[in-house]
Every structure is written in C-alpha cells, then in structure tokens.
Amino acid sequence: MLRQDTTKKQQKDSLPADTGQKPKKVTLYGKLTAAFRKDPDELSKFPAISLQQTLKGNYAGLYVQEPSGEPGSIQNMFLRGTPLPLLNKRNVYEAQPLVILDGIPMVGEHPFAFDVQQYDFNRIGTATNLLTNIDINNIESIEVLKDAAATAIYGPRAVNGAILLTTKAPGPRRAITFNTFFGMAQRPGVTTINGKYENEFRQRFYDIYTTNGRYSDDEVYPVYLSDSLNTVYSGKSDWTDLYYRNALVYGLNLGLMGGTDRANFRLSLGNTKSSGVADDTGLDRYSVMFGINMRPVKWLLFSAMVNANRLNRDRNRSLRDRFAQINYFPDMTAPLSPNKDFYGSYIDAYKKGFDDNKTNTVQGYARLVASLGRLSLSSTFNLDYNESYRDIFYARTLLQGNSYASNYYGLNQRLMLDNKASYDLDLAGSHHFNFSAGQSVMWDLFKYSNAYAYKGVNDYIKINLLETDVNDPNYLNPLAFPKQLTYRFLDKTQDNLVSFYGKADYTFKEKYFASVLVRADGSSNAQPTHRWFYAPTLSVGWSIKNEFLKDNTLINDAIFRVSAGRIGRTNSYDNYSQGPQYTAFVGYTGNLTVPGYNAFGALTRSYSFGWVGYDIPWAYSDQLNVGADLTLLDNRLSLAADFYTKIEKNLLLGVPAYAEYGYTQAIKSGMSVKNTGIDLTLSAKVLSAAKFTWNSSLNLNHNKNVLRALPGGLDQLVIGNRLLRVGAATDQYWLLQNDGIFTADAEVPLVNGQPQKYNGIALKAGDPRWRDQNGDNQINDDDKVLLGNAMPTLVGGFENSFRYGNWSLSALLYFNLGRKIINEESAARFDFINREGNSDVASVKEITFWEKRGDYSRYPLYNPWSTVIPYRIDQDLFLENGDFLKLRSLTLGYELKSLFSRKDLMKRLFVYGSANNLFTITGYSGQDPELVGYNGYDTGYGMPIPRTYTLGVKLEL
C-alpha cells in the first residue's frame, strides 16, 4: 500500500486534473490520519461484481462478510468492529460504513421492508447488492477512512467510517481506454448422497434406540426412505449436473476523454456479467458514466457527473426463499429427488413461471467552484437514486394446484445540497491557516409497494394483480386472482438531515499540525426534545522527521498523530421520533403485521414494533485514535500503526416490557458498546534491481468488542437466542457446554433420589451430558455460558508482487482468526426426527440435502427421539473453529507496449491472467468458513464462492 499524495488529493477535491489551479498550502490530509490506498488498476484484475469483493483483504480495519457466492447477493462491511449487537438485519444496516462516490454519500437498501416478513432470509423485492453498481475501471482512488480526523467532516452518516471513491476525472488530454476480461467460474467438486445413504445414516440410531433396529409402529417412517428399490431417491444421485455448472464471467469497459482547458469530458461505457456456479444464478450489469468540466471564466468551474447502472439479477430457486416469499408451506413429506431426471421435472415446472429482478441506479452531482484568490466557494447538488422491480409467478404445478404471483416496486432516494467556503491565510511565512465553513441538507426517502396473490384462474395470466384502468368499474379489483386472496402492502420511511460545520486547519513550519472541527446536526428522526446534536473533533500531528531528523538519510518521514472526536448517530427509522404512536394496518396474511377489522384499515398501537417513549437522546460515538507513520530506507519501508478506541453511547435497544399492555418490548436508550484495537499496515520494497523488483505489504486489524452498559442499568438481557451481558463481547454465543453422552441411566447424576433434569425433563441414557454450571442438578438457561465470537478478532491480507522486465506476478493471501461458527447445517442433519415432514421452514430440504457436508464422525449418537432434543443448536457441540487462510488471487501479466514501434500512439497494452480463490486452509468441517451469516450461523444456504480463471487486457491510447 502507498502513502496518499496529499497535494494531489486536495487538487482532486477542488478541481479536476490538468486545470492548472495551485494546490492549497495547508495540506494536512495524511498528517492527521492514516492515508493509505490501493491502486484501483491492480484491484480491477480481480473479477469482482461488487465493491465489497473488490475491497476484501486489502485494507486494515475493514472486514467484509460474503455469506454467499451468489452474484449480486447482499454482503456486509464493518470498519473497526461492530458498533452494536447484530440481532437482526436492521442492526446490520446501522453498522455499515458510508460509501462516498465523488462527494456523493451513497444510500443503502433500507431494511424496513423486513417488518412485513415472517423471516429475515431476504427482504421482499430484488434484495440486490446496491454496491454492485461500481465499475472499478472508472475509479481513480479508493481510501478507507476510519478515525474521526477523517470521517467527522462527513457527519453522522459516516459514524461507522467511510469509504471514499474518487472517479477518473475529465481532462484536456485525449485518451481512449479499453479494459476487458473474460473467463470461467469453476464448478465445485461435491460428494453426493442418495436415499440409500440417508437410510443407512439414520439406521444407526434405530439400531441403538429401537427394538430390533426398527422404528415403532406409531412412527411413520419417511416413505421416500422406506423403499431401497425406489430409484427416485435411492438410485443415481446426479442432480449436480443440473444444479452446478462452469459459469461465464466477463467484463468490458470503454473510456473516452478529451477536450480543452476550458471544457473537457470523460465518457465510460461498460458491461459486466457474473454468472454463478450454482442454481443458474447470475448478475448482468450495464453501466454508463459521464463527467464534464466547463470553465467559462478563469475563476469559475462547473463540473458534473452521472453514473447510471442497470442490474439484472437471476436469483436462486431455493425452496426456503420461495416459501418464505409466498408465506406458504406446502406438503413437504417428500423432498426433491437427487436423480436429475426427476429433479429436471421440478426445474421444468419452475420455468413455467418467472422471477424477474431489475434494479436501476443513478448517482450524480452538479458543482460550481469559484476560486477568488485565497477564498474558495463551492456549491454542490448530489443525487443518489435507485429503484427496483421484482415480478414473480409460480405455476400451480409447484404449489399443489395453487399458483402465486407477486409485483414489487421500491425506491431509495437521497438528495443533498452542500455549500462550502474556505480561506487560506499565511502569517510570517511559518504559520499557515485554512478556515472553512459548510452547510448541507440531506433528504432521504425509502419506499415500496408490494402485492401478491394466490390461486389464479390459470397459468397464462401471470402478473395482472390489479385492474389499472381507472375508468373501469372493477378498478383496483383483481382480474386474474380472487379478491379474497390478493394482498397489498405499501410503506415508506424518510429522514431529513440538516448540518452546519466550521473547520480550522493549522500548520507550523511543516512540524506541527492541528485541526479543529465543530458540527451541528439536526435530524427529523430525532425526537423534538433532542432535535440537534453538537459534536467537536480535534486532531494534532507532529513531524518527528522535520523536528529532529531533518538531515537523517535513514528515516524519510516520521509522524506521530492523535485525534479525538464525537460523532452523532442518527436513528434509522422515523418511528423513533414520534414517541408513543398509532399505526394503520389492514388485512392479515400470516406476516408480522397487526390485522385490521374486516379488511378495513384500522389504527392500532404499534405493538409489534414496541413502545417508544419520550425524551430519547441522540446516540453518539466517542472515538480516540493514536497513530504513527514511519518511512525508512529511501522510502523502501513504510509502516502505519493506529491504536483506536470507539465507545458507542445511548444506543437504542428493545427491552422486553409492557406485556400487560400488549407490547413485546420497549425501545429504550442507554446501551453502550466499546471497540478497541490496532490497525497495522506494513509495506516494503524487498528487492529493487534494474530488472527485478519485489514489493510486499501486510495489513492487520485486531479488534476487541465489549458491552459496557444496557438500558436501565441492567446487567444482562436475553433477546431470542442471545444473551447480552455487561462486560462481555456482544457477538458471543450463548450455549450449553456438552461433555459427551449418558450411555446408561445409571450414569445420570442423582440428588436426593432425583435424576438430573433438563427443563424439568429427566435425562436418560442416550441424552447429552450437559455441564451443570451452578450445581443445582437442573440443566436450563442458567447453565448456558458465553462462548466464542461470531466476528474475527484478527483480519488481514498479505500481498506480494514481483516484476521482471515486462513480466509481473502478484499474490494475495486473506485470513480470519479468532472466529467461531455454529454449524447449523450439521445440527439439522442429525435432528432429523424433529425436522421430518412438518410444514415449517425447519423442515425444508433443498436439493443440496443430497450433498454430504461436514464430518459426521465428530458427533455422538444421541437418542434423536428424546424430548430434550439432544441435537439442539444452542450447545457447543456444533461450535467450530472458523479460522481460515485463502489464496484470494494470483495474477500473472505482461506489458506488450515495448513490442510496438509506434510507442507514441500507445500508452499501454497489458495482458494478464488471473486465478482467484484457489485454495482455503481451515479446520472448519462445513462447506466454507466464509459462507456464514451475520450472526455466525452456517445454515448451508450459502452458495460456493467459486474458483475463477480470467484473461484480461488493458489498453490505453
């Protein structure tokens, strides 16, 4: 990683390249905060479809979750730990860093649509990763901003850190660029099983716990396993021929740039296709970016940019996601067949319908900059808008004679008006000041409408849920579906943020540096009694090189820096600003909504959301960063080390309360979470000869998380399957400790003649030996302990690049350490008695049910019929080490420009080959230690992150 050039950075902030404006004299960026970057040209050699995939493993302090290899699916990013417990998708949304594209704070997909869902697997709508709209070929620089010195200027939206993307600026130099790659995502190798294998797996339990190895007369053994001669289930298991595939991946980007000093432009067109290796998934992106600069007079610049994308996503055909979408579980007595002839008939039935997912995104700005000597004025209007459509139709052959249709439309919109003034001042040639003041207004809007219906008149009328002719007397009455089986939902949430700030930067003889920032932010999502939040930030730096070592040739640069600041955290929902409230509901469909009265809208208390009281203050983050930068040996060795502490205060949490009034919880302020850690980035030019160079870089983040306080002074709180305890980490699992198995009734401990019990049920032979933590001879929640961490405690990347003549070779290793995983997929496999034949989500068996994953020999053979549910998930039996090391990318390239005689016509011609995700070293027995949800549970639904092979060309004329 390279030190950010501060002069170039400030030029980019104020004017495009090649305009000739002099840089500001006060260049504190890089003196007060860690300023390291990766060359986007190098990052573009990885065939990523999302920004998260591009950044993973490349920046200290940035942790990326990729819970599925399905292209376009949601991925999460966390900077310097998680600021709050991740109890649901809303918390995950609230923990994401801000992504800023050319000064545009990009809006994310709001999770409020989960409020009308029974399950949080995927939100209604397209559920497409909105950060797939970034074409890395259009990016000039990427900076990850982590401390208050860098992020405070962006206000509450950047309270979790920020990722700053700067696009390639227009300029007068005429240039044509062409970047392309094409390749293959390799089909994974898997071990398939069939009904015969599954029958033998279960027979072991029958041999031990049933008379003569047979199931009892009152138990209905699964029909699909009872006949070993049934070729549908016990025959050939070749379903993988239809499910997995070698998939095409490609990308191309054409850029044009030119003009004069007075007016210039840059145009980029691109198309990227990332096909998944499983279940016929994929994402197709069409993109266009246009930027323009015009200077009507010397002191005035107008610039504008538009980045537009169309995202077409082919989603998975999993049963779980489909049943959760339609709120209906059909008869699941028999699963899908592992034989491709029969599985193919299911796919044919699926193809009689459709699942169309389309997302349009637009980001843009229009900016005026006036440079009046030492005074600079700028005014910018920013826009980020995306809209998504999902049309679904499932034929009646999929749903026992009931067809299903759904139409979804949703939008996310952010408008921003930003005004700034800055003034440079020099005193006595040694004191340099820059004063700036700014004001911004940001309007956020999130909205969706969703309708679905069952049991259409036939399979030919598929999406007409409503009559749209307002002159028709049947207006708003369905034509193709019964009125009684048609349901409609719509909702919106919005947030307005008004901000004012003042900033003063100071430098003295390039030895001492200081910056002070004061902000005032007002949010419509805050309650009227706490509408405004005031936040200061102070940053200081000291150049040890210029102070003591100016003539030292060994040390090129040495800087010590400290920053401390407070940043407000806005509420993500407008519900919090309203205090006690009523909500309008209508209809009841099995979702988490309150029914209306006789299908008419009714005002009810928001019982499911919870009681919202008065006088809720702003939450905020107090951040301290102590860092040092050191460059040695003629800039051949550079080191950046940062110690940080972040304390989140006044966080909101739903606390169980007011059940006597119908509420499930009360929303209360007072939770506090602390993250402390170290970021380390080390870069070295190991060898630098005339024809051979070797550069190496290592980035590390070690983070420790602890819960400091709960609302109301509570010491601990149980929420679902999680225990939040003050003094413990927020991402620990709450589990029973397993010490083996009782092989005989006599082994069960007796106290006063009473056997040990689990929640009042006497333990017997074949039951687990759960550790009695408090010695009361009762196993219950009091015996659960906090174990492991869902988030890694050490994350990093190690990159080495070599160059010999025109040849180049680079390799990136990516690793996670200190992380535990709950192997829920294995728990479901062993708990077959409680998951067989029921009409609920736990009983769904995907086609991947016929794939052997995990090490079954590691689990004792408990009595699966026991009423204590011995293979329950809340025990450390299924807790595994999730550490891993991956060879994430290996790239070999050759520079061809030297082979051409007219070198003046060609600035670059580079060809390369890349192999990615080549191997993983891990002790985890499951599919892949990365394919884990935000809560640390591996459900088995994560599609493989594929091994890919690509060939690419980079051309510049």
Same domain? For 447 and 317 the reply is yes
Q: Are residues 646 and 742 in the same domain?
A: no
| Sign of the torsion angle spanned by Cα atoms 865, 867, 868, 871 | positive
> Which of 626, 644, 625, 629 has its CA nearest to residue 543?
629
Above 60 in pLDDT, residue 600? no
Same domain, 645 and 771: no
pLDDT of amino acid 23 = 36
User: Amino acid identity of 5?
Assistant: D
Mean pLDDT, residues 373-401 taken together: 94
663 and 620, same structural domain?
A: yes
Q: Which of 276, 245, 363, 243 lies closest to 47 in space, CA to CA?
A: 276
Q: Is there a contact between 157 and 163 (Cβ–Cβ < 8 Å)?
A: no
In angstroms, the CA 195 to CA 182 distance is 40
pLDDT over threshold 80, residue 591: no
Q: Are residues 91 and 172 in the same domain?
A: yes
Are 625 and 751 in the same domain?
A: no
- pLDDT value, residue 784: 97
Stated as kind and residue range, the H or E segment containing 425 is strand 404-427
Mean pLDDT of 859-876: 96
Distance (Å, whole) CA 585 – CA 489 = 9
Kindly provide the residue ranges of all beta strands, DSSP E only, lying in 276-323, ordered along the sequence: 282-297, 300-314
| 938 occurs within a structural domain | no
Domain boundary among 699, 725, 751: 725
What DSSP element (H or E) covers 10?
helix 6-14
In three-state form (DSSP H/G/I as H, E/B as E, the rest C), the secondary structure along 349-390 is HHCCCEEEEEEEEEEEEEEEEEEECCEEEEEEEEEEEEEEEE
| pLDDT value at residue 100 | 97
- Of 702, 725, 748, the residue that ends a domain is 725
How do residues 630-689 score in pLDDT, each as one tens digit? 999 999 999 999 999 999 999 999 999 988 888 889 999 999 999 999 999 999 999 988
Residue 887 lies in a domain: no
> Is residue 763 within 8 Å of 755, Cβ to Cβ?
yes
**What is the predicted pLDDT for the residue at 478?**
62
660: which residues sit within 8 A by CB, 6+ positions away? none
Rounded to whole angstroms, the Cα distance separating 951 from 802 reads 19
pLDDT digits (tens, 9 = 90+) for 728-750: 999 999 999 999 999 999 999 99
Residue 211 lies in a domain: no
Q: How far apart are CA 530 and CA 611, in angstroms?
A: 18
Determine which helix (DSSP H) or strand (DSSP E) holds 655, and give its type and residue range.
strand 637-655
| pLDDT number for residue 117 | 81
State which amino acid sits at residue 622.
Answer: D
Cα separation, 375 vs 528, in Å, equals 37
Q: Is 388 a member of any domain? A: yes
Three-class SS of 749-797: CEECCEECEECCEECCCCCEEECCCCCCCEECHHHCEEECCCCCCEEEE
- Note down the domain range covering 22: 2-183+247-568+614-725
For residue 698, the surrounding DSSP H or E stretch is: strand 692-709
Q: Higher model confidence: residue 310 or residue 576?
A: 310
Choose the weakest-confidence range: 140-144, 470-474, 722-726, 848-852: 470-474
645-660 in b/e form (b: 16+ CB < 10 A) is bbbbbbbbbbbebeee
**What does the radius of gyration of the chain's CA atoms come to, in whole angstroms?**
30
Q: Is the pLDDT of residue 12 over 50?
A: no
Residue-wise pLDDT for 493-528, tens only, equals 999 999 999 999 999 999 999 999 999 999 999 999
Percent of the residues in the chain that have a pLDDT greater than 70, as a whole number = 92
Whole-number pLDDT of residue 485:
83
Same domain, 686 and 761: no
The answer to whether position 269 is within a domain reads yes
- ∠878-89-326 over CA atoms, to 5°? 90
How far is it between the farthest Cα atoms of the chain? 99
372 assigned to some structural domain:
yes
Q: How far apart are CA 77 and CA 97, in angstroms?
A: 7
State the pLDDT at residue 86.
96
Specify the CATH number for the domain of residue 353. Answer: 2.40.170
**CA 150/CA 938 separation, integer angstroms:** 36
- The predicted pLDDT at position 584 comes to 66
Assess whether pLDDT exceeds 70 at residue 20. no
pLDDT category at 182 given cuts 50, 70, 90 is very high
Indicate if 350 and 253 belong to the same structural domain.
yes
Phi-psi region at 148: left, alpha or beta (left = phi > 0; alpha = psi -120 to 50)? alpha
Q: Per-residue pLDDT averaged across 42-58, rounded? A: 95
Looking at the fold, whether 720 and 620 belong to one and the same domain comes out as yes
Q: Are the C-beta atoms of residues 437 and 501 closer than 8 Å to each other?
A: yes
- Look-up: residue for tokens 């998944």? 276
Residues 6+ apart with CB under 8 A from 13: none
- 382 vs 119, higher pLDDT: 382
Query: Can you tell me which residue has the tokens 């808008």?
Result: 385
Residue 595 has pLDDT above 70, yes or no: no
Residue with tokens 């070729």: 231
Percentage, residues of the chain above pLDDT 90: 76
Give the pLDDT band of residue 214 (cuts 50, 70, 90).
low
3-class secondary structure, 142: strand
| pLDDT class of 487 with cuts at 50, 70, 90 | confident
Whether residue 799 lies inside any domain: the answer is: no
Residue 753 has pLDDT above 70, yes or no: yes
- E strand or H helix at 740, and its extent? strand 738-741
Asked whether the whole model's pTM tops 0.85, one would answer: yes
841, two tokens:
């989500």
903 pLDDT exceeds 70? no
Q: Is residue 295 domain-shared with residue 161, that is, in the same domain?
A: yes
Q: Are 277 and 245 in contact (CB under 8 A)?
A: yes
Mean pLDDT of the 542-564 span: 93
Pairing between strand 778-779 and 757-758?
Answer: parallel
45 and 73 part of one domain: yes
Same domain, 626 and 771: no
Contact status, residue 374 vs residue 413, Cβ threshold 8 Å: no
The domain tally of the chain equals: 2
Q: Is residue 67 part of a domain?
A: yes
